[in-house]
Amino acid sequence: MNQYGRLLVSLAADEHRGEVLQKLKRLSTSESKVELFSCVYSAALAGSYLFDTEGRQHAIQSLLRKVEKGLASHVDKLQHQNIDVGADVYWDRDLAEGLVRKVLRYKPDLVIHAPEAHANALQQLLSAPDWRLLRQCPAPLLLSKKAQWNDRPVIAAAIDPFHLDDAAAELDQQLLQHAAGLAQQLDGELHVLHVFNTLPHSAIFDEHLVVDYEALQKKVREEHHARIDELIAPYGLSIKDPCVHLLEGELHQLVPDWAEETLVDVLVMGSLARGFIDRLLLGSSAERLMDKVNCDLLILKPDSFSCPVSEF
């Protein structure tokens, strides 16, 4: 089974990401079509020819040819392994939007991108291109963080069936389908994760509910278990299986350690559109985990997602 017939691999102009290309090889088949892509911009170059338009264009073209030459070496190696692959280089001041525009033109089934590692909060703040790519990319986005996958990768779908709208509920089905398909293609293990909060005692204001607090907590747990059981049943799974994990607490606090202990290679998550204030205060679950987990993240959007970037 190959659910990713068209793959787009984002490579920075000066990087030679062997681990990204190794993952590409494992995801490709003889029927796959692959494109290596670099979005290039140099503020120093752009500012050096303020009064010489022709010289500026010549310098830009020279830089693009240099980047193309670097990609060509990767293309040759992949073609020798019978992978149908090409390359494209694009000049764009906004690297995130440049990649999203390429996605809109190429229409890949999967985008592979290696986000920058951030040592501190300031670097996270300055990593806006990675965050905006996560929010704006309309295609499934594999954020490659792990050096290499295990021979039998652990693919985990993080689901939450307690939604108020149909788009989010449909997204859970997509997460399970992609995770199951990826596990099958890579001969890996499928795991399912659900993180939820029961009501804290301090949130109970009704004195009658306080008396029966334990029973209320039990009811909440049972409801979560029942919903998850119903959702994963078509995949031959139940909450009693060791590959199904229900954790109580905050997702961004629990998942990093859980992923490390479970040896997760790829965590499949959804990304839903939020208002500006929600995004500013909380961020999405995927955004909050991007710098906290060491495994790869496969980010999916609901079918109703509207890309905020224009193709041209």
Separation of alpha carbons 60 and 48, rounded Å: 11
Residues 84, 2 contacting (CB under 8 angstroms)? no
In CATH terms, the fold of domain 1-144 is: Rossmann fold (3.40.50)
CATH architecture of the region 149-312: 3-Layer(aba) Sandwich (3.40)
pLDDT tens readout for residues 90-138:
999 888 999 999 999 999 999 999 987 654 444 454 456 788 898 899 9
Separation of alpha carbons 142 and 134, rounded Å: 10
Residues 97, 39 contacting (CB under 8 angstroms)? no
Residue 73 has which token pair? Answer: 């070496």
Domains 1-144 and 149-312 share a fold: yes
pLDDT tens readout for residues 54-68:
888 888 899 999 999
Q: Say if pTM beats, i.e. exceeds, 0.95.
A: no
Predicted local distance difference test score (pLDDT) of residue 216: 75
Residues 270, 168 contacting (CB under 8 angstroms)? yes
Instruction: Find residue 86's DSSP bridge partners.
Output: 35
Predicted local distance difference test score (pLDDT) of residue 87: 95
Predicted local distance difference test score (pLDDT) of residue 198: 72
> CA dihedral defined by 169, 175, 180, 185, rounded to 10 degrees?
150
* Count of positions (residues) in the chain: 312
Rg (CA), the chain: 22
Low-confidence ranges of the chain (pLDDT < 50): 119-123, 125-126, 201-203, 275-282
pLDDT tens readout for residues 247-274:
998 888 999 999 999 999 999 999 875 5
Segments making up each domain of the chain, as ranges: 1-144, 149-312
Predicted local distance difference test score (pLDDT) of residue 155: 98
Residues 4, 110 contacting (CB under 8 angstroms)? yes
Residues 192, 243 contacting (CB under 8 angstroms)? yes
Predicted local distance difference test score (pLDDT) of residue 14: 60
Side by side, the strands of the sheet bearing 33-40 are 84-91, 33-40, 6-10, 110-113, 141-143, 296-300, 266-270, 154-158, 189-196, 244-248
Predicted local distance difference test score (pLDDT) of residue 100: 96
- Evaluate the CA torsion angle 281, 274, 245, 156 in order and state its sign: negative
Separation of alpha carbons 28 and 6, rounded Å: 9
Helix axes 213-232, 166-185, angle to 10 degrees: 60
Predicted local distance difference test score (pLDDT) of residue 206: 53
Q: How far is CA 214 from CA 159, 228, 231, 246, 249, in A?
A: 26, 21, 26, 19, 17
